[in-house]
Structure 1
Amino acid sequence: MCEGDLTIKPDAVIIGAGHNSLACACHLAARGWKVAVYEQASEPGGAVKTGEYTLPGFRHDWAAMNLSLFAGSAFHSDYAPELAKHGLAFAPTGNPFASVFPDGRWLGISNDVALTTARVRGFSDADAAAWTELTQAFPGEAESIFAILGSPMNLRAISSLSWKMWRAKGGGGSLDLARFLMMSPRAWLDSTFESDHVKATLAAWGMHLDFAPDVAGGAVFPYLEAMAGQAFGMVLGEGGADTMIKAMVAMIQARGGVVQCNATVTGIRHSNGRASGITLADGSIVEAEKAVIANVSPTALARLTGGTGEARHQRAMERFQYAPGTMMIHLAMESLPNWSAPELKRFAYVHLAPSLDQMARTYAQAKAGLLPDEPVIVCGQPTVVDPSRAPDGKHVLWLQVRMAPALIRGDAKGEINATDWETAAAPFAQRALDIVERYAPGTQSRILGKHIVTPAQLEADNPNLVGGDQVCGSHHLHQHFMNRPARGYADGTTPIKNLYHTGAAVWPGGGTGAGSGTMLARKLVGK
């Protein structure tokens, strides 16, 4: 997949072949720029890749699995026919996610409004009424929220967006939305629902983006995942999440661009406040006519430049804060888990996160450097949606163990003495599998193959996942919106002229929506 001959000086040199880099390169190439992408790994995609990590014929998504954001992105909207021509294919499902609880009850969100509302009513009539109210209001609220999340974070864009919102929603409605965007998941859930089961089902989504129940600014993510899941379902990649990566690489190469793997960048060349190119590990230099674009962590940007030329920006890069890590467990399965409710076998995701208090405790333990006593388990069942990922009748499970400390200082349960991931991996993974076993007895007896990926291994594979942080930096309010990755630089610019920053560390942040890459490319070409 990584190939191409660099015969002329490129207009843009891009560091890293994550999906934001590739989306940026595609748009620039479509506007006539010559682009060259350099990736340190042996294959492109970063956290979005697929492989046979357990047994032949079982295809596992390395980290990212859910491609709903990409399917609904501005980039996909612009290039859907071309991407499809290059092999992009989606596997949609009307049953995106569910939660199962220790008492045997469960709640699933499906894109059948009446069915989902009835499930909520099974826990509370008042919550069903609240759910109906949220459902009816979602189209209008979504328009405003998606406008914010899809807008560049600069003063002109914010001023225009604020004025449009004020005209559409009025002063009170605009202030209500601003208040909601500041709320923690618990604050919003407690003010909206009465059932602890309903609250936990939605709050689990906050843990995907570093928002434990009591972290300000996190309410919007459980809200959007619930409402969008009901409205649109979920989209996986047919055959694996790497379908989007393969299609974008093919687009770049078809337009004369280069995607070069096994090419580690050791420095960004700049002088007199202007970037001119990059230095590779073999000592070769690649110059750029117009732009050097770095899809790297803020820490790496500071290191590769040797200093960004502005003390405040340099300090922000060096002190950028990362979220707790994640352990991945890939399982080749004889069959799906024998859940307490057979209906759970229909869902793409099943969350094992029984309460807001447990999620808050898990997060606090991981932040303190402890292996959590009961981590949150995200059990992905991609073969329910896309049977092509496993041999006939077999399945794969995609387990995210959230949260996990980057550096282990101890074990909250007092059972694991190891403080290095190489030694702690097996017992901590067993803890996670034992949790799954409680909800679905017999699961471990159905395992045909297992592959554990620790936070340390995630970072070794992709340096942007610092400490195993899959979203390349906390999304807490001090590091989000105009502050991602630093105040004044949320549009991808840096203090060094012609050097630009993209990836999950840059607004709008983590996820598969390719937002930062798309917005940067549009900025560079003026449309």
Structure 2
Amino acid sequence: MTEPVVIIGAGINGLVAAADLAARGTPVRVLERGPTAGGAVRTEELTKKGFRHDVAAMNLSMFAGSQFMARHGEEMARHGFALVPISHPFAQALEPGDHIGVTTDLEETLSSFSNEADKETWRNLMAEFPERAGVVGGLLGTPMRRWPLAKFLWKTWRSLGTSKAIEVAQFLISSPRDWLDNTFEDPRLRTALSTWGMHLDFAPDIAGGAIFPYLEAMGGQAMGMVIGKGGADSATRALVSMIESHGGQIECNTEVTRICHTNGKVTGVEANGKIIDTSIILAGLAPKHLSRLAGPTADTRFDKGMEKFRHAPGTMMLHLALDAPVPWLAEPLKKFAYVHIGRSIDTASQTYAQAVAGLLPETPLLVVGQPTLFDPTRAPEGKHTLWVQARVVPAVIKGDAKGEILHKNWDDAKESMADRVLDLIEEQAPGFRATILAQHVVSPEDLEAGNPNLVGGDQICGSHHLTQNFLFRPLRGFADGHTPIKGLHLIGAAAWPGAGTGAASGFFAAQAIK
């Protein structure tokens, strides 16, 4: 191949595709509109010098366990990729002073449960986890193409039998609340696990969301989690180094303005006013931007589907430089990488409904990341960084559910909303505000301005509800990433298997190029 494969976007999927192709001798050019590679997997000094903050993604467990790393992990290590293992992955702060925590020590996890029946259920779930994780993980690692999918389904049926296969299928379409109500007795435990669904746009009562609380809970217990040493950009920097070592090119500050095609075939891209000839493009784009750059195709159903692709509600981020660790009332919370703040499963449902209705939620669900407890290289000695997501918030503000914030634009509302977030942390950790040295607030609009794929501050680039997942991501008939334009393939979080740092869509697309 003399013409390069052109990859639009240097997010994790684009970089993984480029690295795999370059390692196999295929010429690649990665075109990135921003000043640095990485997309949502970047680390920057956002508050004060010496404080390194993960801009979006912090947890690299999916990347560490990815098919790409299984194939290229040794080379990535040679290019400087390093991980920090974490034995205390996540906890839920409930009523102030109360918590449930999942660690790699089974008895330590169970000590935060209040119900003996739930402890026995947890042990049973862990016993069957390897078999079920093999099925669920196998599905998430299968390209949505006819023969790979048929092979997976046949193998699964032969392994499990009809009854168990149907049981797994029912589980895959269950809502978090349905699965949790049928599995555990303690409402505290149901709350703690349901929170994980909100990471992927699954409020407690939305069908198809049970899989995520299950995988995160059991996976956290079995394996813990990992973060990048020095920052999530440990992965990005190693990928860039790997690509360049094999002759690949990464061109930042290079905005693609048109995808060129003739007679239904890709011919090139226009970027910074110049045409780059190619017959293969891997586009790490939100569907609306794919349509904007490519224009109409010969398939009106595809064009309409890209236009109607639905994004999840927005996210607000707070990056904090701290003078000391968070003084949690519940002492064990000082040992966890993630602390979710939310008192009940019903509060989470209410928060989601308010955000979808365009209201600033009264009690946003918080994901509080404490990376410097495990990786002190991210801050000056004795200091800490805090990574806070407020899930979920509206992209466009129509009002405030609490009736306190009158502004309806994010530029004016974000500081007041940040105060609401800090109040929720302070309630769980009195004296917390006194530890803050500096803060950087990022609204949904700011997220999209920095990365247009995060439409409306949607950090997962599209809802994962059942009508937009599996065979329907991003659209029925195109779940393998192909488009009506020959040579143009969609990769990234909008493509199957969706959001996260696993970068499977980029790896799938690269593997399809011989």
C-alpha root-mean-square deviation of aligned residues, in Å? 1.0
Q: What are the superposed Cα offsets for residues 98-120 of structure 1, whole Å, 9 maximum, x if unpaired?
A: 01111521111000122212322
Which residue, 352, 356, 359 being the options, matches 1:367? Answer: 356
The DSSP-based 3-state class of the residue aligned with 2:172 is helix
Which residue, 423, 426, 432 being the options, matches 1:434? Answer: 423
Deviation at 1:362, TM superposition (A): 0.5
**CA distance in 2 between partners of 1:308 and 1:255 (Å):** 34
**CA distance in 2 between partners of 1:441 and 1:191 (Å):** 36
**Structure 1 residue aligned with 2:161:** 170
Which residue, 41, 51, 67 being the options, matches 2:44? Answer: 51
**Structure 1 residue aligned with 2:147:** 156
Higher mean displacement: 265-274 or 107-116: 107-116
Higher mean displacement: 340-349 or 319-328: 340-349
* Structure 2 counterparts to residues 314-333 of structure 1, below 5 A: 314-333=303-322
Which residue, 479, 483, 489 being the options, matches 1:490? Answer: 479
**CA distance in 2 between partners of 1:445 and 1:125 (Å):** 39
Matched to 1:328, the amino acid is: M
**CA distance in 1 between partners of 2:391 and 2:426 (Å):** 17
Which residue, 83, 97, 108 being the options, matches 2:76? Answer: 83
The DSSP-based 3-state class of the residue aligned with 2:58 is coil
Are 1:513 and 2:506 matched, yes or no?
no
Mapped contact 1:117–1:132 kept (Cα < 8 A): no
Higher mean displacement: 314-323 or 23-32: 23-32
Deviation at 1:190, TM superposition (A): 0.2
**CA distance in 2 between partners of 1:295 and 1:162 (Å):** 28
Mapped contact 2:96–2:427 kept (Cα < 8 A): no
Mapped contact 2:96–2:330 kept (Cα < 8 A): no
The DSSP-based 3-state class of the residue aligned with 2:71 is helix
Mapped contact 2:96–2:329 kept (Cα < 8 A): no
Mapped contact 1:313–1:486 kept (Cα < 8 A): yes
Are 1:209 and 2:215 matched, yes or no?
no
Matched to 1:168, the amino acid is: S
Are 1:252 and 2:243 matched, yes or no?
yes
Are 1:409 and 2:391 matched, yes or no?
no
**CA distance in 2 between partners of 1:200 and 1:385 (Å):** 26
Which residue, 294, 297, 305 being the options, matches 2:286? Answer: 297
Mapped contact 1:9–1:287 kept (Cα < 8 A): no
The DSSP-based 3-state class of the residue aligned with 2:509 is helix
**Structure 2 residue aligned with 1:471:** 460
**CA distance in 2 between partners of 1:67 and 1:308 (Å):** 36
Mapped contact 1:12–1:292 kept (Cα < 8 A): yes
Are 1:28 and 2:17 matched, yes or no?
no
Deviation at 1:231, TM superposition (A): 0.6
Gaps of 5+ in 2: none
**Structure 2 residue aligned with 1:132:** 123
Q: What are the superposed Cα offsets for residues 16-56 of structure 1, whole Å, 9 maximum, x if unpaired?
A: 00000000011111221100000000001111100110000
Q: TM-score, normalised by structure 1?
A: 0.96
**CA distance in 1 between partners of 2:2 and 2:36 (Å):** 23
**CA distance in 1 between partners of 2:474 and 2:431 (Å):** 45
Matched to 2:422, the amino acid is: L
Gaps of 5+ in 1: 1-7
Which residue, 274, 283, 293 being the options, matches 1:284? Answer: 274
The DSSP-based 3-state class of the residue aligned with 1:209 is coil
Matched to 1:227, the amino acid is: M
Which residue, 90, 100, 111 being the options, matches 1:107? Answer: 100
Deviation at 1:169, TM superposition (A): 0.5
The DSSP-based 3-state class of the residue aligned with 1:524 is coil
Mapped contact 2:96–2:428 kept (Cα < 8 A): no
* Structure 2 counterparts to residues 440-451 of structure 1, below 5 A: 440-451=429-440
Are 1:311 and 2:300 matched, yes or no?
yes
**CA distance in 1 between partners of 2:492 and 2:52 (Å):** 26
**CA distance in 2 between partners of 1:221 and 1:266 (Å):** 37
**Structure 2 residue aligned with 1:71:** 64
Q: What are the superposed Cα offsets for residues 304-338 of structure 1, whole Å, 9 maximum, x if unpaired?
A: 11113211111110100000010000000011111
Are 1:13 and 2:6 matched, yes or no?
yes
**Structure 1 residue aligned with 2:172:** 181
Matched to 1:517, the amino acid is: G
Which residue, 220, 240, 256 being the options, matches 1:229? Answer: 220
| Aligned residues with identical type, % of pairs | 51
Deviation at 1:492, TM superposition (A): 1.3
**Structure 2 residue aligned with 1:334:** 323
**CA distance in 1 between partners of 2:398 and 2:203 (Å):** 21
Q: TM-score, normalised by structure 2?
A: 0.99
Deviation at 1:481, TM superposition (A): 0.2
**Structure 2 residue aligned with 1:452:** 441
Deviation at 1:162, TM superposition (A): 1.1
The DSSP-based 3-state class of the residue aligned with 2:227 is strand
Which residue, 71, 87, 98 being the options, matches 2:91? Answer: 98
Deviation at 1:287, TM superposition (A): 1.0
Matched to 1:209, the amino acid is: L
**Structure 2 residue aligned with 1:3:** none
Are 1:263 and 2:259 matched, yes or no?
no
